[in-house]
Amino acid sequence: MIQSFSATSASSILASLKGKLIVSCQADPGDPMDHVDTIARMATSVLRGGAAGLRAEGAECIKAFRAMTDLPIIGMVKTKGPNGEVYITPTFRAAQTVSEVGSDIIALDCTLRRLTEPEPWPELIGRIHSELGRPVLADIASLEDGLAAQEAGADAVATTLYGYTAETAGVRSFSWPLLDALVERLQVPVVAEGHINRPEDVRIALDRGAHAVLVGSAITRPESITARFVAATRG
């Protein structure tokens, strides 16, 4: 069923997240946490802790999250290319799948590397708006990505993929210069996401103009959290 896109509704959803923390609750294949009930319990915990919204991967988890909360859910489908690069919601069918189970916002890979795909993301933004009636969060890795995503109609931009493209591979820290550049140059909301490990970084990001902050591994990945503490035992 075709739903009309409402800029007012999109603005309302994004406004509800302004100055707030969003938590990504997901687990990679093979992770002991990779079970819908386990991830749903994790989501329940972060909501009780005060998260203003959730980011979720895959229809099953999104459906489970929708049953437990009316707060905004950013939905996506995550895939990997043959070279190991992470892609976010690479097709319209993927976007449709997560929309149908209750995603309020669709996260979409809007890096320049995806422009030559059979379904380039500028086309997907238009179809997600016109056919699904959902706002789009553009996951980007550079200022150029962000500017292009805004031009194509993305409703918000997130720094999600900094460190996950060929140009930024190997980076394991948040890029404050990228956040500053996006806040300065863009008119759409900018979400700070990726490699945010400390509560104080949330406050810093908001003070530097981020619309909201999205944290995942530092809250929801026991394996990586434990590994950081274990590393401290080695000096």
CATH code that applies to domain 7-233? 3.20.20.70
User: Which residues contact residue 115 at a Cβ distance below 8 angstroms, ignoring those fewer than 6 apart?
Assistant: 121, 122
From the list 189, 230, 195, 191, the residue with the least C-alpha distance to 216 is 195
Q: What is the pLDDT of residue 165?
A: 84
User: Is the distance from CB of 173 to CB of 166 less than 8 angstroms?
Assistant: no
Structure tokens at 207: 């003070």
Structure tokens belonging to residue 7: 């800029």
Q: Where are the domains of the chain?
A: 7-233
| Residue pair 140/116 in contact by the 8 Å Cβ criterion | no
Which pLDDT score, from 0 to 100, does residue 14 have? 96
pLDDT the model gives residue 5:
73
Q: What is the pTM of this model?
A: 0.94
CA 55/CA 43 separation, integer angstroms: 10
Task: Quote the pLDDT of residue 167.
Answer: 84
Cβ neighbours of residue 231 under 8 Å, at least 6 residues apart? none
**Confidence at residue 47, expressed as pLDDT on a 0 to 100 scale:** 98
3-state SS assignment for residue 21 = strand
Q: Tokens 């329940």 — which residue? A: 44
Report the pLDDT value the prediction gives residue 176, as an integer from 0 to 100.
Answer: 97
Each residue's pLDDT expressed in tens, for the chain with a length of 235 residues? 456 677 788 899 999 999 999 999 999 888 999 999 999 999 999 999 999 999 999 999 999 999 999 999 999 999 887 777 778 999 999 999 999 999 999 999 999 988 988 999 999 999 999 999 999 999 999 999 999 999 999 999 999 999 888 888 877 889 999 999 999 999 999 999 999 999 999 999 999 999 999 999 999 999 989 998 999 999 6
218 near 225, Cβ under 8 Å? yes
The runs of H, that is alpha helices, within 49-197 are 59-68, 92-100, 121-127, 143-152, 176-185
